[in-house]
Amino acid sequence: KKTQQCVLADGTSRVTCKGQQIYQFLGVSTFCEYTVVPEYNVAKIHRDAALDKVCLLGCGVATGYGAALNAAKVERGTVCAVFGLGAVGLAAVMGCKSAGASRIIGVDINSEKWGDGLNSKNKQSHAGFPSPPFFSFCSSRLAGAESSRRGRHMG
């Protein structure tokens, strides 16, 4: 698990500053002008692509989508619940849909997101959800943060 050691998969960082080795954090270089990444972390983008749209192709999409397909191994007909509907959660929803889930339940404590569901006319989907500061739940097949990291080849 080289990425947890803050180096590339081959054990190097390849970047120095004034003789000091510079380490990475989670393989994310969002705020860098230049970066060194493994080939499998690079996506070629067509020169005519709208940059305000392709910027969404960051790690959040791969993390959520990969968690649904690779970690949770969602199968056709599965009923899924996705906790948190930010970028990672919405990508997990896309992964569940792609895998053929029969029902996808999105859970988020931010009530402003509730009306954006694909089936937002079905008010029952919003009924009975309190908004406490935390949720407690159990699952026999849960894909959490560690699993989602594996979904995008991080460890």
Residue 90 inside a domain? The answer is yes
Pair 82, 128 in one domain: yes
21-32 pLDDT, tens digit per residue, is 887 766 665 666
Range of the domain at 96: 46-132
Pair 54, 38 in one domain: no
61-89 pLDDT, tens digit per residue, is 888 999 999 999 999 999 999 998 888 99
Of 52 and 5, the structure prediction assigns the larger pLDDT to: 52
Residue 140 inside a domain? The answer is no
Cβ proximity of 71 and 148 under 8 Å: yes
Q: pTM for the full model?
A: 0.55
- The CATH number linked to 71 is 3.40.50.720
Q: Pick the most confident of 29-33, 92-96, 146-150.
A: 92-96
